[in-house]
Chains A and B, each alone.
Chain A
Amino acid sequence: MKRKELILVAGCPHFGHGQWNLVAIMDQGQHYLEENLDEIYYEAFGQKSELGDGLGPFENLEEVEVFGLGLCQSFGKEGFRLLTAQEFNELKINGLAANEFWNKVREKGKWVKSLNSSPRSKILRRIFN
Chain B
Amino acid sequence: MNAELTTPVLCDDDAVFPGENWFYYWKTSASLWKAKLEQLPMGAILYVPLNWAFHSHHGEGFDFGGERPETQLAKLVQLAAESSVKLEFLLPLAPAPFLPNGGLPPYLARVAATDFEGINQGCFDAFDEHQLLFSFFDSRVFKGFAQFVHALRSYFDREKLSVGIRGIDCGTVTGEQWHSFFQDYSHVYEQAFTRFLAAKRELWREEGVTIDNPGHEKLLHEEFFHTIRQLYSQEAKRILGDFWEGENTLNFLGGSRSDFFKRLSGQESASDYIERSLTGITLGVIPSTVLLPTRNKTGILNRFLQELSPKSLYSHFGANNDFIENNSYTPLVLFELYGSTPGRYESLGLLDFIHKRHTYCLQKDKLEDFIHQEDRESDERFYIFEGADLDQKKFSHILRLFLNGANIILDKGSLNVELRARFETFILENELELDHYHFGPEVSWAHLGEGNLVVLDFRDVAELSPNAKNNCWQRVFSLNDFKALDVELPDGVFQFWRRRFPTPGELKFHEVRRLGIFNPHSYKHKFKIPMNRSFVLTKIIDQVQAEAKTVNEMIELEMGPHGSLIFEFGVLE
**A and B, one complex?**
yes
A interface residues (Cβ-Cβ under 8 A, vs B) = 9, 11-15, 21, 23-24, 26, 29-32, 34, 52-54, 85-86, 88-89, 92-98, 101-102
Chain B interface size, as a band, is: 20 to 34
Q: Which residues of B contact A32 (CB under 8 A)?
A: 258, 261-262, 264-265, 267
Which one of A15, A89, A94 lies within 8 Å of B100 (CB-CB)? Answer: A94
Contact among A21, A23, A52, A94 for B132, CB-based, below 8 A: A94
Whether A96 touches B129, Cβ cut-off 8 Å, given contacts A32-B258, A53-B174, is: yes
Stretch in B55-63, B115-123, B310-318 touching the partner:
B115-123
Contact at B265–A94, with CB atoms within 8 Å? no
- The reply on B298 being an interface residue by CB < 8 A is no
Q: How far is the CA of A12 from the CA of B264 in the complex (A)?
A: 22
Given A14-B185, A15-B218, A31-B265, residue A94 in contact with residue B131 (CB < 8 A): yes
CB of A11 within 8 A of CB of B118, answer yes
A31–B264 alpha-carbon span in the complex (Å): 9
CB neighbours of A15 from chain B (8 A) = 217-218
The prevalent SS among residues of A at the interface is: loop
Q: Is B571 an interface residue (CB 8 A)?
A: no
Q: Considering the complex, give the chain A residue whose CB is closest to the CB of B263.
A: A98
* Cα A94 to Cα B120 with chains together (Å): 11
Whether the Cβ atoms of A92 and B130 lie closer than 8 Å is yes
Check A92–B174 contact: CB distance below 8 A.
no
Question: Do A88 and B267 form a contact, CB below 8 Å, given A15-B218, A32-B261?
Answer: no
Residues of A within 8 A of B265 (CB): 26, 29-32
CA gap between A98 and B129 in the complex, in Å: 8
Given A15-B218, A23-B257, A92 contacting B264 (CB threshold 8 A): no
Q: Are B261 and A92 in contact (CB under 8 A)?
A: no
Whether A13 and B117, one on each chain, are in contact in the complex, defined by CB atoms closer than 8 angstroms, is yes
**A86 to B261, alpha carbons, bound, how many Å?**
17
| A21 touching B263, Cβ below 8 Å | no
**Cα-based distance from A21 to B117 in the complex (angstroms):** 7
Residues of A with C-beta under 8 A to B261: 24, 26, 32
Alpha-carbon separation in the docked complex, A98 to B130 (Å): 9
User: Of the candidates A24, A52, A89, A97, which one forms a contact with B120 in the assembled complex, judged by CB atoms under 8 Å apart?
Assistant: A89
B277 at the interface (CB under 8 A from A): no
Distance between A7 CB and nearest chain B CB, rounded to angstroms: 10
Interface residue from A86, A93, A98 paired with B264 (Cβ < 8 Å): A98
Chain A CB within 8 A of B112 CB: yes
- B174 surroundings in chain A (CB, below 8 A): 53
A95 to B106, CA, bound (A): 14
Q: Are B264 and A101 in contact (CB under 8 A)?
A: yes
Least CB distance from B265 to A in Å reads 5
Can you list, as one digit per residue, whether each of B188-220 has a CB less than 8 Å from chain A (1) or not (0)?
A: 000000000000000000000000000001100
Write the nearest CB–CB distance from A14 to chain B, whole angstroms: 5
Q: Do A9 and B116 have beta carbons less than 8 Å apart?
A: no
**B379 contacts across to A, CB distance below 8 A:** none
Select which of B122, B217, B258 is within 8 A of A92 by beta carbon.
B122
**Min CB–CB distance B266 → chain A (angstroms):** 8
Pairs across A and B, CB under 8 Å, 28 listed = A11-B119, A12-B118, A13-B117, A14-B185, A23-B119, A31-B267, A32-B264, A52-B117, A53-B174, A53-B257, A85-B117, A85-B118, A88-B119, A89-B114, A89-B118, A89-B119, A89-B120, A92-B119, A92-B130, A93-B132, A94-B101, A94-B129, A94-B131, A94-B132, A95-B129, A98-B124, A101-B264, A102-B264
